[in-house]
Amino acid sequence: MTTPNTTAKVSASAARNGDGVAGLGRRIGRIAAQAALLAGVWYAADALTRVTHLPVPGGVVGLVLLLALLLCGGVTPRWVKAGADWLLSDMLLFFIPAAVAAVKYGGLFRADGWRLALVVVGGTLMVMVAVAFAVEQAARLERWLALRRVRNTRHLARA
């Protein structure tokens, strides 16, 4: 499903590249196929968590599974980039049902709103810290791997 905003972005990109209608169709097909691949990874991970009774959500297992596939070369980034970009650009649409549900429970927010706000703020801060830590560790790993590649290249050049 494409939104008018996404369709406009894709159309503008196709016009800039001179692809025309055929290129636009290929691009939309590629986005749909890549989004379906990502959904398939999530579905498989969700089924795995249900069968094995893992105490983590299927989405988290799916992210770890996708990361493993990317690191081992089972999936190349270009196979999922366009679909992931589309999903990320339209992510706000996925939160609309949650906002509508929040409006439905106004009494709950009046009674326990401060507790809910505390949980939301605390959870957001914890996620921000965890993401910052993960990004820092990934950057360190990337720098270490690059340094190792340079050292191996120099070592092979000397031999």
Model pLDDT for residues 109-146, shown as the tens digit of each residue:
788 888 888 998 999 999 999 999 999 999 999 999 99
The b/e string for 18-57 (b: 16+ C-beta within 10 A; e otherwise) is ebeeeebeebbebbeebbebbeebbeebeeebeeeeeeee
What is this structure's pTM? 0.49
pLDDT under 70: residue ranges of the chain: 1-19, 95, 97-99
How high is the pLDDT of residue 6?
A: 53
Position 19 scores a pLDDT of 60
